[in-house]
Chain A
Amino acid sequence: MSRTFFAKNPSVLWFLLILALFTLAVTVLSEAYGVAFISTSFVKTLGKTLCLALVALAMDLIWGYAGILSLGHMAFFALGGYMIGMWLMYARTDEIVVAALAQGGLPATAEEIRQGVATQIFGVVGASDFPPIWYFAHSFWAQIALVVLVPGILALVFGWLAFRSRVTGVYLSILTQAMTLALALYLFQNDSGLRGNNGLSGLQNLPGLDAVSQDDVSMWFFWASALALGIGYLLLAWVVSGKFGSVIRAIRDDEQRVRFLGYSVEGYKLFVFTLTAVIAAIAGALYYPQAGIINPAELAPIASIYLAVWVAIGGRGRLYGAVIGAAFVSLLSSWFTGGRAPSIPLGFYTIDWVDWWLVILGLSFVAVTLFAPKGIGGLFDLATGLRSPNRRGAPLGPDDGALMEKEAKE
């Protein structure tokens, strides 16, 4: 107990240091507060990447540490975005409608404003009334609370149902995927109350800040994202470092045994599931104002699987691995799909990266799973000389986890 938290986890300090330096560098190079070396749109991309790194952290906690492969965390991410998007869209439209009604000669009634905003927002899906779920949309603080509450409660209820009936392993993965699909299909309907497949748009315009340029706004969001990532990293590092972390790692390795030791496995899992859902939602609430638009396609099950891909490529079971994976894969991905990567002419066929990037990603994912289960983070182990036992060869006993041939020889 004499050693401090940071002394036991030197990687946390390193991470925070690198994050701070990175933020400082981007600020100095930005258009708004620096030498204008980095374009505003790239600042936005970097800010979004930080949010993705935050949700990858959450995924690493639930999958890398607790062993629950949730294919639904991008749904919580998108829900967070929807919740903040509702307020952004309401408040922006409210400003516009009030300005338009002021031209009319009479002071506007509350009802007129409400009607005008509703028509503006929902005209595109053929409705002109506010659905009940927009009840709190006028209030910033209520929607901020909902960013945490809606995904949190959904995760709590879903997790309670799933863990209570001892759904584990791949079954849980499929179940979470089904939940995501159901949510996405629901939101695709026009009468879901969230504008169907049009989604919410114009989120990059902050209400009341028309005078401020997007250069500044994007920097603010970048700082906020960096701050959230830093706090999230610190929180999760603290969560996994103590006794709690040991228990959830034990659940990952042998759930049955932990249960027999008297721990409430379901309680631990539920806490981790809900906590990570809330972190994902906060990341989403920071991500979508930078992206400017959110629609149900963001909830598609494939998004959650990409999240798992990032964490796997970065390296499961170590927090910085998740951040590295998310940043590396999502930046590379946007480089390839953005059409900036040069095509490779082969004479008989030209490899166009927009078309072939997904093939490379899919296959490299198979390769990482097969040959480098530790992902990119494993390189740090190589550097520091850490080696895990080589568990190759045929098992010597009938059960999982028995000593392997070559292990026994060493």
Chain B
Amino acid sequence: MRALLLSLAALILMAFPALAQQSVADILAANRDQIEKPSRQTIGPVIDQLAASGDPAAAAVLTAWEAKQLGLRESDGAFFIVEKSDDGWTLTNPDGSPAGTAPKGDIKELKPNAGVRGLIATALVQFTLSDPDRAKRLAALESIAKDPKADALIPLRAAIDAEPDPDLKAQKQRLERLLTLRFDPDSAARVAAIESFGSELGLDLRAALNPLVATTRIAFAGDLPAGSNLARTLTPGSDLTEVEAYDLLVAANMAPARLTVEEARKALVTNLNDGMVGGVALADLNTQAARDTAYTALETAGIVPAAATDAEVTAAVAAHRFAEVYAEPDPAVTSAAAAALSGITIKVGTMQAADLALDAVSLASIYFLAAIGLAITFGVMRVINMAHGEFIMMGAYTGYVVQQFIPNHTVSILVALPLAFAVTFAAGVAMERLVIRHLYKRPLETLLATFGISIALQQIAKNVFGTQARPLTAPSWLDGALTFNDVVSISYIRIAIFVLALVFLMFFLWLMKRTRLGLEVRAVTQNPSMAASMGINPDRINMLTFGLGSGIAGIAGVAIGLFAKVTSELGSDYIVQSFMTVVVGGVGNIWGTLAGAFLIGTFQKGIEWLNPSNTLAAQTYMILLIILFIQFRPRGIIALKGRAAGD
């Protein structure tokens, strides 16, 4: 520590040669009154003097002062670092040598208030930056980074070379450059610091650069005021509206305030005289032009204060020029900062595009998951099941109920997935047997009957579980997000859903192409009578297929419930999008459903990006786009050809 402090002291000696002579004890003695009763307003110079004294004891004294451990011996006015002992005080000289003990009454404890302690802490930063404790150095760095100040620059520079930890050293160097580009008096050094970053993405860099290119708008007559750093000139009408331009003039006291309609009205009413005001009859005052004339007449007569009417505003704006100027006076720095920021903007834009793509993929996998059950019931069997959304909801509620019995979230999800499948499979089979079987020839009525079931199920869920949202909590290892950098990140739940969607895609492909059941399903959907002749029982296959599609909806429900709120309306939020996904993708083809989900996911995220404040509008435009899309490819992205296409 000695060595560190000495080297630090040496550096500070170079920086402040004039102050280097005084020892801490001298300074304390010289400023006794102030130190005894410090006030936040006046103590600053004393603290600075102590910190800059170069005396190795300064850090210890300041630390003790901040910790209320500095004491004053009333008899001779000497300062000590004091510690309570059994029968009084144990004293230590400012330079660290022991100074014996003192009875309780001899020593006056110094208790600086919080404001003063804050000032001391700031002064201590330069010492803590070289503290042997790594955690303290880190904390000091963080406190500087949080609130960058010009006076932190010199101590920070001094603390870099002696830093033993390479990590911390890099951090210090980075912070030093961030401070340099804002506070260094030398313009060239600042430009060099800005350029040294290139187009890095760090938020701290952007936070440091943005104030450099901050602009204010000014109005002026004639030439630009000397010493201002012009960003661009503004033309009223195109760059700024006339109203804004005039407001600038008013703010700069270069023009009288505008005559507001309300004020004009009041002035005219007060000066109403025999049904006339300013030479205009009361009944004629129902246009703005007439009121302006009357007011100008009053103004000329000196009855009312001068205020600009519309015509005067236009004239005043035309007589002045307007410009945006940088708050930072140095043009070299502002242009370097602007260039660096534009580089960063491009890079951030690319990263945002990547982030958007990730979002789109994750939304697409949610839609795919919601739609894959429909791809079976609607896509393969051509049965419109409006209650599909309610099957998703049943799956989510199954997950919720399971979590009531199994508190461990990981286990409960693992139990809920097959259970949700079982519940919705059973519901699907029951529905197929009882209702849909009778309506295969009447698709429109299937739609309505399943819709009836959908409202009934939704209302039953509302009656059983209530209207408020129920939580379905994800296991803790799915918390958090995979972060690539400050811009690109994706939460683990979304990754899990993506993986689940992939698993289902594989499962579907395997089931349809590689199993006996899949073969029979394809046979029955293509030609039930022919399949029946071959010994397949179409009733059984239809039942199983429908149950399978419903079961997958149940599993999707558990997955969706993990990130959305589980309510009775959960399903209806997804039903239209799910049908759109299947229709846009192309009925009867799982790859089509996949393509449809990606198309819709990308559409929606793209529109949200164009208009980020408004997800409702995004959904509106997405649906309109889909309706238009179906105009051009009525059979979807991947259309079946030949006999499989049916009619």
Contact = CB atoms under 8 A, between A and B. Distances in A.
Interface of A: 67, 69, 104-112, 158, 161, 164-167, 169-171, 173-175, 177-179, 181-183, 185-186, 188-189, 191, 301-302, 305, 308-309, 312, 355-356, 358-359, 361-366, 369-370, 373, 398, 400
Contacts of B457: 362
A179 B624 CA distance: 7
A72 to B, nearest CB: 11
Nearest to A296: B616
Nearest to B582: A174
A163 B110 CA distance: 90
Interface in B287-313: 287-288, 291
Contacts of A191: 614
Nearest to A305: B451
Interface in B419-477: 435, 438-439, 441, 443-445, 447-449, 451-460, 462-463
A169 B443 contact: yes
B265 interface: yes
B617 interface: yes
B449 A358 contact: no
B443 A365 contact: no
A357 to B, nearest CB: 8
A109 B454 contact: no
Given A178-B626, A370-B438, A69 B268 contact: no
B439 A369 contact: yes
A398 B527 CA distance: 10
Contact of A308 (B283, B448, B576, B630): B448
A109 B288 contact: yes
Given A370-B435, A373-B445, A189 B580 contact: no
A111 B458 CA distance: 51
B413 interface: no
8 contacts: A105-B272, A109-B286, A166-B634, A170-B443, A359-B455, A361-B456, A365-B448, A365-B449
Contacts of A108: 286
A309 B627 contact: no
Main secondary structure of the interface of B (DSSP, over half): helix
Chain B interface size band reads 35 or more
Contacts of A183: 620
B261 interface: yes
B455 to A, nearest CB: 4
A111 B288 contact: yes
Interface-centre pick from B439, B448, B626 (highest chain A CB count, 10 A) = B448
B617 A189 contact: yes
A-B pairs, top 6 by smallest CB distance, nearest first, are A362-B456, A365-B452, A182-B623, A358-B459, A105-B269, A107-B286
A149 B1 CA distance: 87
Given A182-B623, A305-B448, A362-B455, 15 more contacts: A67-B444, A105-B269, A106-B269, A106-B286, A107-B283, A161-B627, A169-B443, A177-B576, A181-B623, A185-B623, A301-B576, A355-B459, A369-B445, A369-B449, A370-B449
Contacts of A112: 261
Contact of B462 (A105, A185, A355, A365): A355
Interface string B612-645: 0010110110011011101110100000000000
Contacts of A104: 265, 269
B385 to A, nearest CB: 11
B402 to A, nearest CB: 24
Interface-centre pick from A158, A173, A178, A301 (highest chain B CB count, 10 A) = A178
B22 interface: no
Nearest to A111: B288
Given A171-B583, A182-B623, A361 B616 contact: no
B465 to A, nearest CB: 12
Interface-centre pick from B443, B452, B624 (highest chain A CB count, 10 A) = B452
A110 B291 CA distance: 13
A309 B619 contact: no
A182 B580 CA distance: 13
Interface-centre pick from B261, B441, B447 (highest chain A CB count, 10 A) = B447
Contacts of B351: none
Interface in B594-626: 614, 616-617, 619-620, 623-624, 626
A235 B444 CA distance: 27
Contact of A358 (B439, B447, B455, B614): B455
B282 interface: yes
A106 B282 contact: yes
A178 B623 contact: yes
B454 A182 contact: no
B235 interface: no
Contacts of A312: 448
B627 A178 contact: yes
A167 B634 contact: yes
Contact of B529 (A185, A188, A398): A398
B246 interface: no
Contacts of B529: 398
A302 B458 CA distance: 12
Contacts of A111: 288
A4 to B, nearest CB: 35
Contact of B620 (A182, A365, A366): A182
B285 interface: yes
